[in-house]
Amino acid sequence: MPFLFCGIMIGMTFRVIDNPDFKKFSRNAGFKNSEFKALAGLFSRAATVKALYDIGVDVDFDEGICTFTYYRTNAYKPYLQFVIRHVGPHTAMYEVFKESKGRIAKSGLFRRAFKRLEDEVAELMGR
């Protein structure tokens, strides 16, 4: 609503400035439902052709670590591990470990680490 100040008409408006990019930086890093489904789906595909025997999920909330362990046999010796590590307030680190090689991938992006895990499982499936 405009008002008169010393013979000058002044109008004030209040607008809320919304920056949609701010929301993606302010949210906490975390493991998303779609990422969990991708890891579980990878196991399901490999289990149908009997390339993998079992999967184990371990979560340590105090340390900020979640581990997906893929087993080839019922001896429960880990063959592949996908580790999600909370390393900062807005950062998660993804790592892939293989039985005889150790760490084979490390990335701050889920897609990159998952792609490497997917390649290893596809090789195990014979594709």
Please report, as a single letter, which amino acid is at residue 38: A
State the pTM of this model: 0.73
Phi, psi of 32 (to 5 degrees): -90, 155
Question: What is the model's pLDDT at position 37?
Answer: 92
CB distance 76 to 52 below 8 Å: no
Quick one: tokens of 42? 């990878």
pLDDT 10s digits, 74-112 = 888 889 999 999 888 778 899 999 998 999 999 989 999
- Alpha helices for the chain (secondary structure H): 20-26, 33-48, 110-125
* Tens-place pLDDT, residues 49-73: 998 899 999 988 888 899 999 999 8
CB 76 within 8 A of CB 65: no
Q: Which amino acid is at 74?
A: N
Tokens describing residue 38: 């991708």
